[in-house]
Structure formats: C-alpha cells, structure tokens
C-alpha cells in the first residue's frame, strides 16, 4: 500500500489504524515532510520490523518504506530524494521490484527522476511496480480546475514516459479528486 500522507507528523494514529485494518506486508508513505530524529521516532512507533527512508528536503518530500521481515526479505537497490527502489523476496515466490515515488513538483528535478528510473529499468529482470505521487497526471480529466496548453503538454509528456518505459497505468481507487490547490476535498 502507498499513501501520500502530505505530512506524517500528526497522522501517526491514522497510519496505525490503516495498518490495523489492512495488515500490509509492505507500506510506503510519501510526502512525509519530516526527517532526522523526529522522523525516526515516528517510524519506530509505526510497528514494522523493517524500514528505510529518504529524508524530506526541508519541509518538502520524504519517503518512508516499511516491511515485515518475518514475511519478506527486502534489498534496497537504489534511492534518491524522489524514490526508493527495492527487491522483494517472499519465500517460495519469484522476487519482484517496487519503487516508492515522490516526484518533485519542479519539472527539471522530475526529469532527473525519470532518468534514474530508466537506468533502474534496464537492470531489472522481473515484475516492477512503481507507486506514489508523480506530481503529474496522464490526462486533463484527472485534474480539477487546472488547465491550459502547458498542462496539456505535461500530461502528454507523462503519458509518453509511461509508454516509452513499457509501464501500465493501473489507475487508482477512491474519489476522482482528493486534492486541489493545497486543500483536501
């Protein structure tokens, strides 16, 4: 499960309830906005036996990844401020790969993320899931109240990146729009 928490500092109770209800083996939290000792204290209280994270940049970004060591073996393959990529090995099953993503809102920094992901893709042999917040959409219908030629170009570029890397957009479940200009809907 992947959740853009838009700041994890005051959401420990919600995170723990989500874990209680869904009993995940692997959990990725993106856009945590926290780093250092404060982040580690919260991570330790979440209750997974395995964890890694990339620090937030100031109060932006941050990726926390948790797993249950008793159920899976996780090998961190690569990480940056915008992703953590791991190999997951569950006894008796073929290993697979997962990248937890929090793409920068800055377009030039997002381009670097795609260069990194394309390099990773070339080295992987097996199923690969990418999930998180790409700070982009594939079409204008996924956006609320935002338009224009530049945004249409961004949607087309994001769709092209998905296609050129042989990725499949699985979509999402839940409301069509959960966020608009800094406000939860």
**Is 173 among the domain residues?**
no
Tell whether 151 is covered by a domain: no
Over residues 120-159, the pLDDT tens digits come to: 999 999 999 999 999 888 877 776 666 678 878 888 999 9
Residues linked to residue 60 through DSSP beta bridges, in sequence order: 57
Range of the domain at 111: 2-135
In a domain, 172, yes or no: no
pLDDT of 67? 97
Upper half-sphere CA count for residue 25 (Cβ side, 13 Å): 10
Tell me the per-residue pLDDT of 27-60, one tens digit each, with 9 for 90 and over: 999 999 999 999 999 999 999 999 999 999 988 8
The structural domain count of the chain equals 1
Decide if 58 is inside a domain: yes
pTM score of the predicted model: 0.88
Residue 40: give its domain's CATH number.
3.60.10.10
Does a structural domain hold residue 148? no
């Amino acid at each position: 499960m992947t959740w853009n928490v838009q700041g994890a500092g005051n959401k420990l109770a919600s995170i723990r309830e989500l874990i209680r209800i869904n009993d995940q083996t692997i959990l990725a939290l993106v856009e945590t906005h926290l780093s250092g000792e404060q982040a580690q204290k919260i991570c330790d209280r979440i209750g997974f036996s395995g964890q890694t994270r990339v620090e937030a940049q100031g109060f932006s970004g941050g990726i926390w990844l948790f797993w249950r060591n008793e159920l899976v073996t996780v090998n961190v393959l690569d990480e940056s401020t915008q992703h953590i990529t791991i190999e997951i090995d569950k006894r008796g099953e073929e290993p697979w790969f997962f990248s937890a993503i929090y793409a920068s809102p800055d377009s030039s920094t997002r381009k670097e993320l795609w260069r990194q992901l394309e390099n990773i893709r070339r080295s992987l042999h097996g199923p690969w899931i990418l999930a998180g917040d790409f700070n982009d959409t594939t079409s204008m219908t996924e956006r609320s109240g935002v338009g224009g030629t530049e945004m249409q170009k961004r949607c087309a570029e994001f769709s092209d990146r998905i296609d050129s890397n042989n990725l499949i957009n699985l979509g999402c479940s839940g409301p069509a729009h959960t966020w608009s200009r800094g406000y939860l809907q």
